[in-house]
């Protein structure tokens, strides 16, 4: 017992000071991608051909468009591009309220917007979520579990995961939604008392991720239930998930996180 106490004192205060301070992500962290159209050579399709989930395509508003809902953040595109037209930043802010706002065509950032006044009144200070793994590989599930540890401490924001959808305010869905899980997801959704929220987490939960093209899945949560918040990644970092949840609840309204001054176009 004495050794445990000594180790605890040595470790000190472990809870992250995010969102009040920079989350301190490592240099190797892969965050929001940026497309620089002026560097994209005419006729070059190297990044498009290299993408394993067809997340990059010729855009209607520019040479390229990258769908964060399909992106695995594997950097195959940056390796293939000879001119550096696609790069990944350390910006952890990825969540959006619609699939359209997950489309990256340049340096513009469209962040998740908060719920309406009535929904914020209901859920802004206390939000109970039931997590449903609809065929996931457990990577996104592991990051969601990490949110409850001493470092991220999701409970300090009044957000908790519960064991039953009947006790929940909404669902957090991971996995590509396999055909075998589609009915279970519908049942879980209907068991949540209205008004209810749905949050799709990870590339699989949004679009099917690396399973795009397989006939054994339905292409993400939105194929079965309406989705209110999309949090991209493969898997998304706990800070990315937390940032999305706080913006969604109107608890993180400023676009400047201390230590990170970024230009933002509201979503």
pLDDT at 48: 92
pLDDT tens by residue, 115-148 = 989 998 989 889 999 999 999 999 999 999 999 9
The answer to whether residue 8 scores a pLDDT higher than 60 is yes
The residue ranking higher by pLDDT, 60 or 69, is: 69
| Phi, psi dihedral angles at 20 (to 5 degrees) | -70, -25
Please state the rounded mean pLDDT for residues 155-176. Answer: 96
pLDDT at 247: 95
Is 151 inside a domain boundary? yes
pLDDT tens by residue, 183-199 = 999 999 999 999 999 99
The residue ranking higher by pLDDT, 213 or 131, is: 131
The answer to whether residue 21 scores a pLDDT higher than 60 is yes
Is 183 inside a domain boundary? yes
Structural domain count, the chain = 1
The answer to whether residue 42 scores a pLDDT higher than 70 is yes
The pTM of the full predicted model, rounded to 2 decimals, is 0.90
CATH number at residue 146: 3.40.50.12280
Q: Please, which pLDDT band fits residue 62 given cuts at 50, 70 and 90?
A: low
The answer to whether residue 259 scores a pLDDT higher than 90 is no
pLDDT at 255: 54
Is 60 inside a domain boundary? no
Token representation of residue 249:
């609840």
Is 17 inside a domain boundary? no
Q: Please, which pLDDT band fits residue 61 given cuts at 50, 70 and 90?
A: low
Single out the residue of 134, 163, 141 nearest to residue 221, CA to CA: 134
pLDDT at 41: 81
Q: Please, which pLDDT band fits residue 263 given cuts at 50, 70 and 90?
A: very low
pLDDT at 260: 44
Is 139 inside a domain boundary? yes
Find the domain containing 166 and state its range.
117-248
Task: Calculate the average pLDDT of the chain.
Answer: 89
Which DSSP string do the residues of the chain spell out, in sequence order? -HHHHHHHHHH---S--TTTS-----TT----EEE-GGGS-TT--HHHHH-TT--EE--SSSS-EEETTT-----HHHHH-SS--EEE-S-----BSSSGGGEESSS---PPPPPPHHHHHHHSS-EEEEEEESS--SHHHHHHHHTTSTTT-GGGGTEEE-S-GGG-SEEEEES--BHHHHHHHHHHHHHSPSS-EEEEEHHHHHH-GGGTT-TTB-SSGGGTS--SEEE--SSPPHHHHHHHHHHHTTS---S-BTTB-------
Among 41-55, 139-153, 216-230, 247-261, the range scoring the smallest mean pLDDT is 247-261
The residue ranking higher by pLDDT, 197 or 61, is: 197
Is 200 inside a domain boundary? yes
Is 85 inside a domain boundary? no
Distances (CA, A) of 97 to 71, 110, 258: 17, 9, 24
Is 6 inside a domain boundary? no
């Amino acid at each position: 017992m004495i050794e445990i106490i000594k180790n605890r004192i040595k470790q000190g205060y472990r809870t992250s000071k995010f969102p009040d301070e920079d989350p301190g992500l490592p240099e190797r962290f892969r965050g929001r991608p940026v497309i620089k159209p002026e560097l994209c050579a005419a006729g070059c399709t190297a990044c498009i051909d290299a993408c394993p989930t067809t997340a990059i395509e010729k855009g209607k508003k520019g040479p390229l468009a990258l769908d964060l809902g399909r992106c695995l953040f594997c950097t195959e595109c940056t390796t293939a591009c000879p001119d550096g037209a696609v790069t990944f930043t350390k910006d952890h802010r990825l969540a959006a309220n619609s699939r359209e706002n997950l489309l990256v065509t340049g340096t513009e950032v469209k962040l998740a917007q908060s719920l309406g006044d009535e929904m914020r009144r209901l859920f802004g200070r206390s939000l109970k979520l039931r997590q449903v793994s609809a065929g996931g590989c457990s990577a996104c599930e592991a990051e969601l579990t990490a949110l409850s540890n001493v470092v991220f401490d999701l409970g300090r924001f009044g957000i908790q995961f519960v064991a039953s959808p009947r006790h929940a305010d909404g669902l957090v869905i991971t996995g590509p939604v396999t055909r075998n899980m589609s009915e279970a997801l519908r049942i879980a959704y209907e068991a949540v008392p209205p008004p209810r929220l749905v949050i799709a987490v990870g590339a699989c939960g949004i679009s099917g991720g690396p399973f795009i093209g397989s006939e054994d899945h339905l292409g993400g949560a939105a194929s079965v239930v309406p989705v209110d918040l999309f949090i991209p990644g493969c898997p998304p970092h706990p800070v990315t998930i937390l940032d999305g949840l706080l913006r969604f609840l109107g608890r993180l309204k400023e676009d400047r996180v201390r230590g990170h001054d970024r230009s933002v176009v509201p979503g």
